[in-house]
Structure 1
Amino acid sequence: MEKSKVREKVLMELENLIALSCKDPKGYKKFNRLHVALLKKHYNAADVTIDYHRNRVQMDIILDDDIFQAEKVNVNIPTLYTNLLFLNLRKFLKSCIDKDQKSIGFYAQILSSFHRKENQFTLA
């Protein structure tokens, strides 16, 4: 029961942060790392670039995780180049939220990191 409440709270806070990040196009630069992290997680992408003006996301999606080795330089990993068009950034990012347990932990780390950085700016 308690895990369910924490899970729902993390998802709700993440959706609120996404909504906040998409309100002002001038603030996209501040939230770019959040947007890229969400897309990398959802699509299993190695490289993500967001063109906010043209509403496009370019990324290299990793096709085979078994070949990837974190301790080595990975030069010959099979990837698929993708160029996606989105109409509404907020809806697009919200559609990338995965609800499995591993993803919830990842989102909790993002929220924790973001709130720490936010508090550092307010204390300075």
Structure 2
Amino acid sequence: MKTSTLVTIYRLENLLNTQKENKDQFRLHQLLHINLIKRCYNSSDVLIDYDKKRVFMNIILDNTDKRNQKCKTTQKVMPTNLRYDNLTSFLKSCILEDDASIEFYKSQMTVFRSLKITTEKTVKIEESLNQ
């Protein structure tokens, strides 16, 4: 495996291990979790119930039909309900190591970092306004 691939996986795993200090950070992590699951399971409509430790999703059964790529409502899906014991372990098991997935993770982490910086600045501005 390439060094850059290992670095990307290492950074993604570290991101999954980080604590969510406030609701804005939780929402950012939630988006990352959903995108990771969608990528791994080729799924849509992912919903994570953190309290019940469940992931609900529709796994796309066949996305080779070019007609259906424009209109996802006609795609054949399998409704799925997964239970996990440990969210971080489950999400780490969703990490794929192919080149396309690695590029996807890089882009997700770039977006995550930029949103996190924006969120942190917004929180600081709101805190200063409330003083």
Q: TM-score, normalised by structure 2?
A: 0.81
Q: CA RMSD in A?
A: 2.2
Q: In the alignment, does 2:86 pair up with 1:81?
A: no
Name the residue aligned to 1:92.
Answer: 90
> Which range moved further: 112-121 or 85-94?
112-121
The SS at the match of 1:58 is: strand
Kindly indicate whether the alpha-carbon contact (under 8 Å) linking 2:28 and 2:116 is maintained by their aligned counterparts in 1.
Answer: no
Q: How big is the shift at 1:111?
A: 0.8
Name the residue aligned to 1:10.
Answer: 8
Gaps of 5+ in 2: 123-131
Q: How big is the shift at 1:55?
A: 0.3
Q: How big is the shift at 1:123?
A: 4.6
Bigger Rg, structure 1 or 2: 2
Q: How big is the shift at 1:46?
A: 1.4
Q: How big is the shift at 1:31?
A: 1.2
Name the residue aligned to 2:105.
Answer: 107
Q: TM-score, normalised by structure 1?
A: 0.85
Q: Which of residues 18, 30, 47 is equivalent to 2:45? A: 47
Gaps of 5+ in 1: none
User: What percent identity do the matched residue pairs reach?
Assistant: 35
Q: In the alignment, does 2:15 pair up with 1:35?
A: no
- CA separation of 1:95/1:54 partners in 2, compared to 1, >3 Å: closer, same or farther? same
- CA separation of 1:108/1:30 partners in 2, compared to 1, >3 Å: closer, same or farther? closer
Matching residue's letter, 1:98: L
Moved beyond 3 Å, runs of 4+: 23-30, 121-124
Q: In the alignment, does 2:14 pair up with 1:19?
A: no
Q: How big is the shift at 1:30?
A: 3.6
Name the residue aligned to 1:119.
Answer: 117
